[in-house]
Amino acid sequence: MADGILVKGLRAWFGDTRVLRGIDATMAPREVTAIIGPSGCGKSTFVRCINRMHEVVPGARVEGQILVEGHDVYRDDVDPVQVRRRIGMVFQRPNPFPTMTVFDNVAAGLRLGGVRDRARLSEAVERALEQAALFDEVKDVLDRPGSSLSGGQQQRLCIARALAVQPEVLLMDEPCSALDPMATARIEELILELKRDLTVVIVTHNMQQAARVSESTGFFLLGELVEFGQTRAMFTNPRDKRTENYITGRFG
């Protein structure tokens, strides 16, 4: 059975507006796939379909098939809550829970999933913070509010929070767009570390970023996946005229 993420004939709507028009793509396991395209092209919707977050918006609808590690996340008997446990997500703006400490933010997924054992929790929190390259910076302030950290630290805290439940896939929806270049560089380093253990899909407006971190890239335009393939090939020798126009900055 195919590993990674396999998308077949994915279509999505907001009410009567069609935002994805039949997407087919394969994202290899333990690789980084970048999703690029102008605003409103459906790239956020695409990643939100993978962990069934699209349907959270009232009136939103999805058709098609998405296999994650061989399991169809849209089969009738699949619980979206279970899907989201296996697929972590990081958002555009850092969104740590403001009423929780640094520790509690990272422990949130496990604790709310029923883990009570204190030793197991601290172990998992430490591991997730290490993985998110944040542990050394916050190990003395674990009991301070998560919102007291800097923006870049908050975003890595959110990454640690997603990693703590040991997901197979990590979705990142423009994770650096609210961060300064230094913080962005740290997150990019981190992404290169993370792909040893998980499959990463990252939406980005920044084409240099896509070129730096990803093996494959998908270019979305008006709800269609115009081109999908090896990142290097796409940036040096795009097959589609529209891709070429976009990556050379002729529009968007």
**Do 62 and 143 contact (CB within 8 A), yes or no?**
no
The nearest distance, CB 206 to other proteins, in angstroms, is 21
Sole window of 2-10, 144-152, 194-202, 223-231 interacting with other proteins (rule: CB under 8 A):
144-152
Told to check if 151 binds other proteins by CB under 8 A, we report no
Restricting to residues 27-66, which ones interact with other proteins according to CB under 8 A?
Answer: 51, 53, 56, 58
DSSP characters over 117-182:
-HHHHHHHHHHHHHHTT-HHHHTT-TTSBGGGS-HHHHHHHHHHHHHTT--SEEEEESTTTTS-HH
CA-to-CA distance for 210 and 238, rounded, in angstroms? Answer: 14
* C-beta of 60 vs 247, nearer to other proteins: 60
CA distance 142 to 153: 13
Identify residues 104-133 at the interface with other proteins (CB under 8 A). 108-109, 112-113
- The torsion angles phi and psi of 191, rounded to 5 degrees, stand at -60, -40
**Sole window of 20-28, 92-100, 120-128, 215-223 interacting with other proteins (rule: CB under 8 A):** 92-100
**CB-CB contact of 237 with 230 (8 Å):** no
| Residue 82 in contact with other proteins, rule: CB under 8 A | yes
Q: Pattern 200-219, binding to other proteins, x per CB under 8 A?
A: --------------------
Q: Of 99, 150, 230, 248, which one interacts with other proteins (CB under 8 A)? A: 99
Comparing CB distances to other proteins, the nearer of 58 and 249 is 58
φ, ψ at 21 (rounded to 5°): -115, 65
Beta-sheet pairing, 32-36 with 216-221: parallel
Among 158, 183, 200, 207, binds other proteins (CB under 8 A): 158
Strands 87-90 and 216-221: unpaired
The residues of the shown chain that bind other proteins, judged by CB under 8 A, are 51, 53, 56, 58, 81-86, 88-89, 91, 93, 95-99, 108-109, 112-113, 145, 147-148, 158, 161-162, 165
